[in-house]
Amino acid sequence: MHPVDTLLIRFDYDQLALLNVVMAFLMFSVALDIRVADFRRVFRFPRAIGIGLLAQYLLFPLMTLGLIVFFEPPVSMALGMVLVGMCPSGNMTNFLVHFAHGNTALSVTFNGLVILLASAATPLGFLLWSQAVPGAAELRRDFDVGFGDMALIIVQLILLPLLGGMLLAHRHPLLVARIRPWVQRLSLVFFFSIILGALWSNRDHVVNYVGYAFVLVLLHNGLGLGIGYVLGKLSRLSEADSRALAFETGIHNTALGLLLIFRFFNGLGGMALIAAWWGIWDLITGITLAWWWRRSTYRASVFQERTSS
C-alpha cells in the first residue's frame, strides 16, 4: 500500500459540523440563480441534454478508469478521481459558459438537472465505478460507505438548500438580486478557507504528494473538458452548445467531493488531495478556456465585419 493511502486529514466534530453548514450555504447561493422555468428548458434542448448526460455519467467515468489503469496512481488518489468524476458540475459553470459566449440557458438547465440527480447519481456512480479500481476493495473495507448514508447527506446538504434558494428567489426576486453576489462570494470564501486550513495543518504530508495530484488532475480535467466539447461537435451541436457541454463535463463540484471524503473516508489523504487540487485547477483551466473562446469569438466577428464591408 502506498504511504498516501494511509494519510488522513482529520476534522474534529466542530470542524465537520461547520463544513456541513458552509456546504449547505454554498448550495443555497448556487440556487439563487436557478428558476423553475430553467427545468422546463430540458424539452428545448433534449438532444444536448442527452449528450451531456452521456458524457457526464458514462464517458467521463470510463475515461477516468482508463487514466487509472494507465498511470496506476495510489489507490486513494484513484478513488478521489472516481468520486470527483461522479460529482455534479460546478457552481462556476454558468458564469464560464456565459463569458465564453456559450449557450448559457443550456448550461443553467443542465447544471440544475445534475444537481437534482446528484442525491442518487453521485453515491450510486461512485459505489459502482470504484469497484473497477484495482486494489480498491481492500481500502474500502476500512470505511463504512453505503448508498443510503451518502444519498441522505447529499439530500440534506445539496437538494434541500437548492430548493430553499429557488423558493426564496421565486418569492423575493428583488431581495435575491441584491444579496446574490455577496452570498455567492462569501460561501466560496468560507468553504475554501476551511479546506485550505485543513491542508495547511497537514502541509508536511501534503507537500510530499502534491506532485502526484498535479499531474493526475491536469490530465483528468483537460480530458473532461475535451470530452464534452468533442462529443458535442461529433453530435453536430452548435458551437455554443458544445462550449456549454465542455464546461458542464469538465468543471465539477469538488466542494461536495471534499465533504463526502471528510464525512465517510476520515479525510483520506490521497482522495482529499485530488479533490482539493481539482477545485483550484478546474477554475484555472475554466477561466483560461473561457477567455480564449471569448477572444476567438471576438476575432471571428471582427474578421467577418472586415470581409463583409
Measured CA to CA, the distance from residue 180 to residue 183 in angstroms comes to 5
Measured CA to CA, the distance from residue 30 to residue 196 in angstroms comes to 21
| Grid cell at residue 35 | 428558476
Which stretch, 63-72, 99-108, 289-298, has highest mean pLDDT?
63-72
The 10s digit of each residue's pLDDT in 241-295 is 999 999 999 999 888 888 888 888 877 778 888 988 888 888 889 999 999 998 8
Looking at residue 303, what is its pLDDT? 43
DSSP SS3 for 88: coil
Please report, for residues 28, 174, 215, 244, the alpha-carbon distance to residue 97 in angstroms, rounded to integers and kept in the order given. Answer: 21, 25, 25, 6
Measured CA to CA, the distance from residue 83 to residue 89 in angstroms comes to 12
pTM: 0.83
Measured CA to CA, the distance from residue 168 to residue 163 in angstroms comes to 9
Q: Is the dihedral of CA 282, 284, 285, 286 positive or negative?
A: positive
The 10s digit of each residue's pLDDT in 176-190 is 878 877 776 777 777
Among 8-22, 41-55, 140-154, 177-191, whose mean pLDDT is lowest?
8-22
Other CB atoms closer than 10 Å to residue 214's CB: what's the count? 13
| Grid cell at residue 229 | 466539447
Structural domains in the chain?
A: 7-191+208-308 (1.20.1530.20)
DSSP 45: S
Amino acid found at 39: F
Contact 152, 260 (CB under 8 A): no
Q: Residue 308 — pLDDT band, cuts 50, 70, 90?
A: low
Contact 26, 291 (CB under 8 A): no
Contact 122, 150 (CB under 8 A): yes
Which residues make Cβ contacts (< 8 Å) with residue 214, sequence separation at least 6?
277, 281
CA-wise closest residue to 282 among 203, 201, 207, 228: 228
Amino acid found at 173: P
Measured CA to CA, the distance from residue 82 to residue 61 in angstroms comes to 7
Looking at residue 302, what is its pLDDT? 45
DSSP SS3 for 8: strand
Contact 165, 28 (CB under 8 A): yes
DSSP 90: P
Looking at residue 199, what is its pLDDT? 65
Contact 88, 21 (CB under 8 A): no
CA-wise closest residue to 244 among 261, 259, 229, 227: 229
